[in-house]
Amino acid sequence: MSTTEKTAEYVKRQQPGHVFTSRQVMIRVNKGSADVSKALNRLSRQKVVVKVERGLWYRPKKSRFGVIGASPEAIVRTLEGARGALIVPAGATALHELGASQQMSMRARYLTSKRIQNITVGKRTIEFVYSRVFENLAKSLSTLPKREQHLAARIWAAATHAGEEEAQAKQAIFRSAVNRLSEKGQERLLQAIPNKDRWIKELLEGSNEQAVPVHAQQ
């Protein structure tokens, strides 16, 4: 079986809309980078796969309206692992996911701990916003389980987008989110918040009686 045939078999086993990397294919078919790249480019011409960017692909979903692209969320999940970055929704989406707003942004905009170029899929652009502040926050959270890293980063992202006045008005929602973190997760988040955002630390501290022992140590 040729490399292209093996690669096609791998793709067919994935769900439509599934995003994957060239490296994942290399491992699966046990072939080198050049061979896999040629195979994927050949399958792209046959419309079996769609290229997102260098080394990143997805299996298209076909409908009567045409080809449906991969979701921004699926692209971000795969990209996060491939780049070793922490990536979370930014802006109104961060607030919405926390339950602090009914509004959802029409833009696919993400905070990232590493510099990543914006990606256009079809008519939609996925925006990546890098800052040294978020990179440092991500480093401080890096020893936590991935789920807690994401939740802690989303809490910070939502608070910074809301601003002090709005966040204070929704303090109960923010504190409820903090209580979903372990004691270690709460402690790391509070330690990671930069001095310029001290009001966020004050917003989140003392979420409930169970959290007091964590914050009392600081």
Task: Give yes or no for residue 143 having a pLDDT over 90.
Answer: yes
> Residue ranges of the domains in the chain?
3-68, 72-216
What does the pLDDT look like over 181-198, one tens digit per residue?
A: 999 999 999 999 998 999
- Please report the pLDDT score of residue 81 as a whole number: 94
Instruction: Give the integer Cα–Cα distance in Å for 161 and 167.
Output: 9
What does the pLDDT look like over 42-55, one tens digit per residue?
A: 999 999 999 999 99
Instruction: Give the integer Cα–Cα distance in Å for 54 and 25.
Output: 14
Instruction: Give the integer Cα–Cα distance in Å for 95 and 152.
Output: 13
Q: How far is CA 118 from the centre of its chain?
A: 14
pTM score:
0.86
Instruction: Give the integer Cα–Cα distance in Å for 24 and 37.
Output: 12
* Domain 3-68, CATH class in plain words: mainly alpha
Could you give the 3-state DSSP secondary structure of residue 40? helix
What does the pLDDT look like over 105-127, one tens digit per residue?
A: 788 999 999 999 999 988 889 99
What does the pLDDT look like over 76-103, one tens digit per residue?
A: 999 999 999 999 999 899 999 988 888 7
State the chain's mean pLDDT as an integer: 90
In eight-state DSSP terms, residue 109 is: E
35 vs 212, higher pLDDT: 35
